[in-house]
Structure 1
Amino acid sequence: MPDDLVVRPMRRDELDVLVDWAAAEGWNPGLNDAGVFWATDPDGFIAAEAAGELVGGGSTVSYDGRFGFMGFFIVAPHARGRGLGGRLWRHRRDALRARLAPGAPIGMDGVVPMQAFYARGGFASAGRDLRFAGTGAPGPTPPGLVDAREVPFDVLAAYDAVRFPAPRAAFLERWIHQPGARALAAPGRAGLRGYGVARPCRTGVKIGPLFAGHVDVADALLRGLAAHAPGEPVFLDVPEANPVAVDLARRHGMREVFECARMYLGPPPPLPVTEIYGVTTLELG
């Protein structure tokens, strides 16, 4: 490990570099991810440099001090195998803990080869997230759905806050308004019955979040969002703890292509997992 290794706050332009590295690794980032992620928490990104060169980084985002999420952890290929990644990861964990309220949990999604390392760092698995891939089919917006941007934002944010570990209004407003995205919601008599977002990526679109109180609503949202990318790849990250969601993805002809473990440092947040049909993003939770 180089003696001149420096772990420091990231600059905005360096996040673009990390996104390009992620694309080269096959992570298929969203076209607007860097801008939305940075605006969510500009203090939530850590860089590592050696000999004046950027060699790694990752996100350490705080949601109002009540919940933290670590993601986008990547080291440049030529800098791997020297222990740099471990030092960077531990620094990110400790820096994020210092920004949170005492006892606030931290989440992350760990790929299979790294799960033992994360466990040694204090994280415990809360179940798998399974990535499903399919192909978008053209079609009209299913009945009962509206553009989520037409829903009063406070209603949408309140619905989202019950299905995510902490309020995230700043993120959500940018997420649904990002260029090229489709955001759909299912209004009901007593409030929302569900909503979802499809964002454009380097390849196809990723759907997330996909929240719904009933599988029929989730099915309509999935069809409406997938129709945003007819003939293109569509990806959905499904919590295995919701078997109805797994079955829904398979009924739509989607196949499992990747897995990771949702892991937490501290107690897992109490979430209505049966209403989570697709997680928002593996980078920010």
Structure 2
Amino acid sequence: MSEELTVRLMKREEVTLLVDWAAEEGWNPGLNDAEIFWNTDPEAFIAADVGTELIGGGAITSYGGEYGFMGFFIIRPEFRKRGYGNSLWQMRRDKMIARLSPGTVVGLDGVFEMRDFYARGGFVFSHRNLRFVYSSSSRKVSFHKNIIPADQISFDQLAQYDRTCFPASRDNFLQEWMSQHYSRAVGYVDDGHLEGYGVMRQCRKGFKIGPLFANNQQTAEVIYSYLVNSVAGTEVFLDVPENNPAAMSLVRQFGMKEIFGCARMYLGSTPKIMHDRVYGVTTFELG
């Protein structure tokens, strides 16, 4: 490296820049991602400088010190293959660990070609998360007696259900995620019991559904159908965990096309969540 790399906390406007860089990489971020991600954990965003120039960054999100997630790892193209990315990642990993309680699990979604690199940093492969795209041909007036707007469901009930599918409580994030502009959030309620929920947000291109959590494939199908039919004719993306066979069956049923994927890896033990309820992960950036 010709110049030393230094790291610091990002400023709010730099997170917007990081999201713009992610869009240039083809990650297709949501329209509200920068604001919501910042509000979730302002101390998560690490800036990488060479001299006075911002050359990259990444997130080390802490969920109450109970779970950590590393994402948004970007080095500007003109600064790659010079050792800066390796240094930034090592620094972020160490800072991530320092932000958490001892022994806390850290997750990440990394592109497949970086799997060996992350393994050298102590991360162990769990499964693949695969991105699929789908576009229905015509918009339908969709109704199902069990589908209810999320704002008509007790937040405590939603948060408790989410906790079965995610390794830590994330109430602040959920409140903003489910009420963001250009989005739709619904739950599947049967006899007063929440049996699944999904959020669809508008992105730079089309929409992404995430999370999509459900007790079973039939419930996931109803939630998914309701969401995609509301924006028919537009591409809808879903990031599906390959370790849930029912989720993979769902994408085959709808004829979705696989376009991208990441390796889910953990520093520490695989979290004890109900993996069979996860039909779509929330985001590759914050878990």
**Smaller-chain TM-score bracket:** over 0.9
**Residue identity matched to 1:38:** W
**Residue identity matched to 2:278:** I
Name the SS of the counterpart of 2:247 in structure 1: helix
Name the SS of the counterpart of 2:43 in structure 1: coil
Cα distance per residue 1:22-44 (max 9 Å; x no partner): 11111101110000000000001
Residue pairs, 1:37-76, within 5 angstroms: 37-76=37-76
CA distance in 1, matches of 2:30, 2:126: 26
Change (3 A) 1:70 1:19: same
CA distance in 1, matches of 2:278, 2:152: 22
Deviates more, 1:137-146 or 1:212-221: 137-146
Counterpart residue number, 1:230: 232
CA distance in 2, matches of 1:142, 1:201: 26
**Residue identity matched to 2:173:** F
What 5-or-longer segments of structure 2 have no aligned partner? none
Question: How many percent of aligned residue pairs carry the same amino acid?
Answer: 51
CA distance in 1, matches of 2:88, 2:71: 12
Deviation at 1:227, TM superposition (A): 2.1
The answer to whether the 8 A contact 1:2-1:50 is kept is no
Deviates more, 1:192-201 or 1:219-228: 219-228
Name the SS of the counterpart of 1:157 in structure 2: helix
Residue pairs, 1:106-185, within 5 angstroms: 106-136=106-136, 137-139=138-140, 140-185=142-187
The answer to whether the 8 A contact 1:65-1:101 is kept is yes
Counterpart residue number, 1:254: 256
Structure 1 residue runs of 4 or more that deviate by more than 4 Å after TM superposition = none
Counterpart residue number, 1:277: 279
CA distance in 2, matches of 1:191, 1:55: 48
Deviation at 1:61, TM superposition (A): 0.3
Say how many residue pairs are matched.
Answer: 285
Name the SS of the counterpart of 2:144 in structure 1: coil
Deviation at 1:191, TM superposition (A): 2.3
CA distance in 2, matches of 1:228, 1:39: 28
The answer to whether the 8 A contact 2:3-2:51 is kept is no
CA distance in 2, matches of 1:101, 1:141: 45
**Residue identity matched to 1:138:** R
Deviation at 1:190, TM superposition (A): 5.6
Equivalent of 1:220 in 198, 214, 222: 222
Counterpart residue number, 2:206: 204
CA distance in 2, matches of 1:9, 1:187: 42
CA distance in 1, matches of 2:172, 2:72: 19
> Please, what TM-score do these two structures have when normalized by structure 2?
0.97
Residue pairs, 1:85-100, within 5 angstroms: 85-100=85-100
Deviation at 1:248, TM superposition (A): 0.6
CA distance in 2, matches of 1:107, 1:190: 33
Cα distance per residue 1:64-97 (max 9 Å; x no partner): 0000000010011111110000110111111010
Name the SS of the counterpart of 2:42 in structure 1: coil
Equivalent of 2:195 in 187, 193, 196: 193
The answer to whether the 8 A contact 1:69-1:107 is kept is yes
CA distance in 2, matches of 1:228, 1:25: 28
What 5-or-longer segments of structure 1 have no aligned partner? none
**Residue identity matched to 1:209:** P
Name the SS of the counterpart of 1:197 in structure 2: strand
Name the SS of the counterpart of 1:31 in structure 2: coil
The answer to whether the 8 A contact 2:221-2:250 is kept is yes
The answer to whether the 8 A contact 1:142-1:223 is kept is no
Counterpart residue number, 2:3: 3
Deviates more, 1:55-64 or 1:4-13: 4-13
Deviation at 1:188, TM superposition (A): 2.4
CA distance in 2, matches of 1:242, 1:230: 26
Deviation at 1:214, TM superposition (A): 1.5
Deviation at 1:251, TM superposition (A): 1.0
Cα distance per residue 1:214-239 (max 9 Å; x no partner): 11110000011112322111100111
Counterpart residue number, 2:33: 33
CA distance in 2, matches of 1:73, 1:228: 33
